[in-house]
Amino acid sequence: MKEIVVISGKGGTGKTSITASFALLGEKNVIVADCDVDAADMHLLLQPDWHFSEEFFSGVAAEIDQGKCIKCGKCANVCRFHAIPVIDKKYVINNLNCEGCGYCYQICPRDAITMVEQNVGKWFVSNIKTGSKMVHARLRSGADNSGKLVAKVKNEARKIAEKNGVGWILVDGSPGIGCPVVSSLSGADLVVLVTEPSVSGLHDLERVYELTKKFHLPSGCIINKADINPEVVGKIKTFLQKENITHLADLPYDETFTKAMTFGKTIIESGESEIKNTLQQIWKKINNLLTDEREKS
């Protein structure tokens, strides 16, 4: 089984639209995993049937039993997260601030504090219009532990791929360089970076690649909206060469992507176009990159 992870560092570079296009091209040979659980949008293009869903519990938060509390204040004293304010002369937990470290639980002389598992979201398995399946999730707003939900989505995708003899998993990764991205990348076989030729795009690409490098994965890069700024495109290409990242293709600044999205479609379903051809070529290159890798190993 092979896992392709698409990430971008910066948001709004077209990562999800491009990943959804690959899902269409890969048809039944690809299980899709939407690991951008914070702002999951893939379902808007792939029309899942929300076939299966399950609540996801992860992490804990403190709860104080006011009947047992003797108001000694030890819990509030040790809490580094300002999560135990005194309201109406009672020590209470501020759930937004509670990190779930359990120090208060350890220190309470009356066992008045319990650590309660938190429902941080839901995950789903769906049949999608490509004829394949997709695993996706929804993080509760303000929830912690999105890295764990990402790991869950990936694991479930792997199980489904194994069970159905599907060779590839296509992962829409998270933005940034923090724990959800690390979780998206772990276990991957190939990374596809989607960037745009802006000073921010280049800056974020460099940072996210520094992280990617630690995983020693073969990588390819798509430069979206390439005609916006040829000078920065040049800088990106120099960077790709230096880092030995395969330059997969340039895509033009084109509002057709947005138009297709407005109808819940990918660009692959929107008639013949040059962009569609380019995306087909990129998909072939990705296939080749993975095959090369297999021969090497």
| End-to-end Cα separation, the chain, in angstroms | 14
- Under the criterion CB under 8 A, does residue 172 sit at the interface with another protein? no
Work out whether strand 113-127 and strand 133-139 pair parallel, antiparallel, or are unpaired: antiparallel
Sequence-ordered alpha helix ranges (H) in 114-168: 146-164
* CB-based contact 192:286 (threshold 8 Å): yes
Shortest spacing between CB 41 and another protein, in angstroms: 5
Q: Which of residues 8-27 bind another protein (CB under 8 A)?
A: 9-13, 16
The partner residues of 190 in beta bridges, in order of sequence, read 4
Tokens 């990242």, located at residue: 245
Shortest spacing between CB 145 and another protein, in angstroms: 8
- b/e string for 38-71 if b means 16 or more Cβ within 10 A? bebebbebbebeeeeeeebebbbbbbbeeeebee
- Under the criterion CB under 8 A, does residue 143 sit at the interface with another protein? yes
- Under the criterion CB under 8 A, does residue 103 sit at the interface with another protein? yes
- The binder of another protein chosen from 130, 152, 196, 289 (CB under 8 A): 196
- Under the criterion CB under 8 A, does residue 136 sit at the interface with another protein? no
- The binder of another protein chosen from 1, 69, 76, 101 (CB under 8 A): 101
Cα separations in angstroms, 77 against 73, 74, 83, 111, 189: 6, 5, 10, 16, 47
- Under the criterion CB under 8 A, does residue 152 sit at the interface with another protein? no
Helical axes 274-296 vs 15-26, angle rounded to 10°: 70
- Under the criterion CB under 8 A, does residue 258 sit at the interface with another protein? yes
Q: How many residues bind another protein (CB under 8 A)?
A: 61
Q: Which of residues 42-81 bind another protein (CB under 8 A)?
A: 44, 60, 78, 80-81
- The binder of another protein chosen from 179, 217, 249, 290 (CB under 8 A): 179
- The binder of another protein chosen from 170, 182, 223, 275 (CB under 8 A): 182
Q: What angle do CA 53, 58, 61 make, to 5 degrees?
A: 130
Burial class (CB in 10 A: 0-12, 13-18, 19+), 256: middle
- Under the criterion CB under 8 A, does residue 234 sit at the interface with another protein? no
- Under the criterion CB under 8 A, does residue 216 sit at the interface with another protein? no
- Under the criterion CB under 8 A, does residue 39 sit at the interface with another protein? yes
Kindly list the residues in this chain that would bind another protein in the complex (CB under 8 A): 9-13, 16, 38-39, 41, 44, 60, 78, 80-81, 96, 99-103, 106-107, 115, 139, 141-144, 146-147, 175-179, 182, 196-201, 203-204, 207-208, 210-211, 214, 225, 228-229, 231-232, 253, 255, 258-259, 261-262, 264
